[in-house]
Structure 1
């Protein structure tokens, strides 16, 4: 797979990877902005813009957008994360120009019609309420807020109903003028695509974008803390976290290997000890959530109030084992193989490949060769992981718990004492 890159005069970067053996092309535009770039007053605006561009542009109304794509059997969608907003499509190869036109139109010519905006605000408010009714979503909102208090990364991606209902066309256009600049986005396409033709398609539609706007995203700092809440639910949801890796950390992949051994699958330590041997949970896993300037290493579990009394001490014991003893060569080899296999399997998807290339270009200003990633993973040792475990698990913890009404649950201080 040959990766080609070009940069337009206004600074917009374009990446392609041709796969001549397939009949489709996956493409998108990734914008280097998301919830972490928002002020408190604008919390949720990135996500709301993502919704509103589908409600109409100067060329197409909402129905025409859907019909133009679906009439040729294609699909288009979008997402917002803490650092990125993405608009993407998958089409048959002969319909690449149509998809490019629709996606570029989202970015250059959204109308933000007042009537459509009024309706879509209530759609997003329903999305916010639906998330609040999902305990396994809500506990992670509490967790983020406790880990990153009074920071953009501690606020939700969706925003609040009050914020969403307060957005207007001028605020949204101002936000786009600041963040939707050519040097702050990447267009990528993977599949049956000719690089030069795709560059021309994008250039014809995006060459009028402003090259640059002065904006610096505030660095985010892991702090840690605790929050315990109760609702009318059947199960207790728990997230326990520590300072983790950012995307920029040299030992980023060390965190991935450690997390895989600790709670990354059915053969992991947490799954085997807590679910298989003791039957204390249905779900338990660990993760490293990376941000640009910070990160959090965490453990999620869903259990009952009764089992929680046994669960937390067992988790604490497993943490201490990770700090005190080296992982076995069998565990290390298995984790490395799992991560490498997951990476290589993901690259079989043209959509995932486009996303990986675009995100790497925005974060690191280059596409990282797969062989380089594999080499970094292979270089990790058991000694590295023991030192890393000691670093992670001695940092200030974050503890978020969403329990059943009427229950009594450990406090943040209780959990800190358990981890000593």
Structure 2
């Protein structure tokens, strides 16, 4: 056992009366403080008429509050050398700031201000809608991004979990301040909010600041999103492009599923690095694609496994044939050397993520939202180390039994029918 995995730093956790969780991880060797607020609400928590609202709220958080203009929000952080950011995902939204430790109080005050007192001024709202529409147009003009949106929509049709995070021009145009406030009151519940800080921080101070900024938010019943139900199918978008962008997928596992780590290792061995099977066969041996990847996206109640690549129109048929053969073969003959390498790469990825305050902050927040506790690195490593070759092969065989999802954009003449792909996946 590499003892780096068991040298966990101290993490202090306090829950406020309204249910909000405060967690800190002091890092004595770090002079900066990274602070954030994570909310267990993202695009899959939107109703149909709210499609894209989580992302718009993230943008609007920086556009002015009762105490600060948009300019002053940026100045208050940047005047002390800090930076501030936000991100929206399928299942969560985060707002983070990094400053010197001595300015942690300022950073958390700004974060509290934007999350509890934003004005959602109609002029700023109209302007930001325009910005998001430009972002939407950029995706539409980028086939290797658009294909993944089409992939998710096809895997989970008619469901919030499958809808693109950005929304659509129609839904974006209808949003107003009232819609935003209703979503915040319903989904930004303190029971699924985590205030986390790492670096040069003091737990008592952060708890006091969090109480001041967020303690008055009323506790409300927690609302679970609709379960994600994988369906599968295909979406082919023929376009006059130089390349065909193709994503082939299958139902994956939740990160809470017992087989998650075996499935993750299977994906990594298949297409997770320069020594992976797909990279070696598709890129290095045959030159069919500039890059190819296999991935496993886990959610709280479901997951999605897939392979994505771009290739010339004339090579589509061969790319699919080789990819399908690699997927089948991996379920039969993954070896011990590949397992050792994949396990080592997973451990390095785990440690690397914990080498910065931002990485530790994200680990704390995500695990508390998902599990209600911090999972020690040692526990994760033990589960990975315990995996056998046969367990990873079996994880692959289980994946390949699922109904496939296919999304493709570009010159697609050589792309085989979905029924043929499904048949070719059977070991």
Shorter-chain TM-score: which interval?
Answer: over 0.9
The offset of 1:408, in angstroms, is: 5.4
Aligned counterpart, 1:293:
301
Q: Quick check: 1:245–1:296 contact (8 Å CA) kept in 2?
A: yes
What is the CA–CA distance in structure 2 between the aligned matches of 1:291 and 1:59, rounded to whole Å?
A: 37
Give TM-score scaled by structure 1 length.
0.98
Write out aligned runs for 1:189-200 (5 A). Answer: 189-200=197-208
CA displacement 1:340-366 (0-9 Å, x = unmatched): 011101100110110111011001111
- Tell me the residue number matched to 1:65: 73
Question: Displacement, 1:407?
Answer: 4.5
Return the alpha-carbon distance in structure 1 between the equivalents of residues 298 and 173 of structure 2: 30
Deviation at 1:101?
A: 0.5
Runs (4 or more) in structure 1 with deviation over 4 Å come to none
Which residue is equivalent to 1:337?
A: 344
Q: Distance in 2 between matches of 1:226 and 1:417?
A: 15
Q: Which residue of 2 aligns with 1:412?
A: 418
Distance 1:419 1:329 in 2: 23
SS at match of 1:54: coil
- Distance in 2, matches of 1:408 and 1:318, equals 19
Partner of 1:307: 315
> Among 359, 375, 379, which residue is 2:366 paired with?
359
Q: Aligned ranges for residues 128-139 of structure 1 at < 5 Å?
A: 128-139=136-147
Provide the residue aligned with 1:2 in structure 2: 10
Question: Tell me, what secondary structure is at the counterpart of 2:120?
Answer: coil
Question: What is the deviation of 1:143?
Answer: 0.4
Shift of 1:59: 1.1
For the 8 Å contact 2:242–2:313, the answer to whether it is kept is: no
1:347 lines up with 2:347 in the alignment: no
Question: 1:228·1:411 contact (CA, 8 Å) conserved in 2?
Answer: no
Match of 2:381 among 374, 386, 389: 374
Among residues 187, 194, 209, which one is paired with 2:217 in the alignment? Answer: 209
Tell me, in whole angstroms, the C-alpha distance in 2 between the residues paired with 1:238 and 1:367.
Answer: 37
Partners of 1:57 and 1:51 in 2: CA distance: 13
Shift of 1:314: 0.8
Question: Hey, what does 1:113 align to over in structure 2?
Answer: 121
CA distance in 1, matches of 2:385, 2:90: 30
Match of 2:395 among 388, 399, 410: 388
Other structure's SS at 2:22 match: strand
Matches within 5 A, 1:250-265: 250-265=258-273
1:321-356 deviation line (CA, Å, top 9, x unaligned)? 12223x111100000000001110110011011011
Shift of 1:253: 1.3
Write the distance in 2 (CA, Å) between the matches of 1:74 and 1:352. Answer: 17
Gaps of 5+ in 2: 1-8
Q: Work out the CA distance in 1 between the residues paired with 2:112 and 2:346.
A: 34
Secondary structure (helix, strand or coil) at the match of 2:295 reads strand
Is 1:157 the equivalent of 2:165?
yes
Q: 2:287 is paired with a residue of what secondary structure?
A: coil
2:246–2:406 contact (8 Å) kept in structure 1:
yes
**Separation in 1 of the partners of 2:254 and 2:414?**
35
- The separation in 1 between residues aligned to 2:416 and 2:173, in whole angstroms, is 37
Taking the TM superposition and a 5 Å limit, the aligned residue runs for 1:140-179 are 140-179=148-187
Partners of 1:45 and 1:269 in 2: CA distance: 40
CA apart distance, 1:409: 3.4
Question: Residues 132-190 of structure 1, C-alpha deviation per residue, up to 9 Å, x if partnerless?
Answer: 11111100011001100111111100000110110011111000000111111001000
Give secondary structure in 1 for the equivalent of 2:118: coil
1:408 and 1:229 map into 2 onto residues whose CA distance is 13
**CA drift at 1:214:** 4.7
1:99 matched to 2:107? The reply is yes
Distance 1:410 1:133 in 2: 25
Shift of 1:37: 0.7
Question: What SS does structure 1 have at the residue aligned with 2:294?
Answer: strand
Cross-structure match for 2:5: none
Question: Residue in 2 aligned with 1:184?
Answer: 192
Return the alpha-carbon distance in structure 2 between the equivalents of residues 412 and 139 of structure 1. 16
SS of 1:372's partner is helix
Give the TM-score normalised by structure 2.
0.96
